[in-house]
Amino acid sequence: DGEIEFDNVNFTYEGRQPALRGVSFRVPKGGSVALVGESGAGKSTILRLLYRFYDLKEGEGRILVDGQDIRDVTQASLRKAIGVVPQDAVLFNASIAYNIGYGKLGASQDEVEEAAKAAQMHDRIITFPENYDTKVGERGIRLSGGEKQRVAIARTLLKNPPILLLDEATSALDTSTERDIQKALQNLVRGRSSLSIAHRLSTIANADLILVLKDGQIIEQGNHKQLLELN
Ligand code: ADP
Ligand code: ADP
């Protein structure tokens, strides 16, 4: 499960120029696709359409998950199958454990700890079990962007969806944080179908397929090696 297909997708925000034009691609089960392209190229629109923030109208093409048009499944069941790791994760003003456990109702402490470890949160972010109730946010600990992203990754690991939408941070991170996030992402992506707005070189290099977007169209595609040979 987790096969994704965009079939000749066209999309226009009201009163705007087309944001996507004739976009077709497939993510096989467990495959990884990296979206690259300058700001405004249409990368986020692809993720939003798959998550059904907007629905395609008749004649705008189709988006299929496991062969089924996503307009024919309930939004709730679609979203259960999709994990989202946003660029800037918003955390609840609650314990880190709560923020992670939110990924799965009724998760045990062991499950939360396991997810936290797989998300490389072994350092100062979470100390077991004494700081279990330390709150994040204003009066608790402050987390860096990279740490917040790892909380989101741990939460998504617990949710365990077959499909992942990732919006990688553009902000520069120090190298140790970078390494931890890279490992966390590898643990998350393994065995799942993923569609990433990719900024990290490692994500691009490891993707099965890179789609280069410009003005709503796919202008080049291939894996890292193929694209290097092209240019
Ligand atoms: P990217 O993620 O590659 O930066 P987007 O998918 O956000 O690109 O944007 C594609 C195009 O759609 C751009 O021209 C952008 O201005 C426009 N756009 C994006 N979001 C909206 C929106 N909510 N309302 C109107 N236009 C939008
Ligand atoms: P608000 O707009 O209400 O101030 P924010 O968007 O700044 O909220 O943050 C939303 C939630 O994310 C808050 O409940 C806060 O606890 C948490 N949060 C925001 N920034 C950080 C941070 N750097 N470290 C930890 N938690 C944060």
pTM of the full predicted structure?
0.87
**pLDDT tens-digit readout, 63-111:** 999 999 999 999 999 999 999 999 888 888 888 888 898 889 899 888 9
ipTM of the complex: 0.76
Q: Provide the percentage of residues in the chain whose pLDDT is more than 90.
A: 64
Here the tokens at position 36 are 């690259």
Q: pLDDT-derived band of residue 145, with 50, 70 and 90 as boundaries?
A: confident
* Ligand 1 close to Cβ of residue 23 (< 6 A): no
Q: How remote is the CA of residue 143 from the centroid of ligand 2, in Å?
A: 9
CB 188 within 8 A of CB 119: yes
Chain mean position to CA 169: 11
**pLDDT tens-digit readout, 166-178:** 998 777 677 778 8
Across 164-192, average pLDDT: 87
pLDDT recorded at residue 129: 44
Q: Which residues line ligand 2 (CB under 6 A)?
A: 90-93, 136-137, 142-143, 148
Query: For the chain, what's the residue count?
Result: 231
Q: Which residues pair with 187 in a beta bridge?
A: none
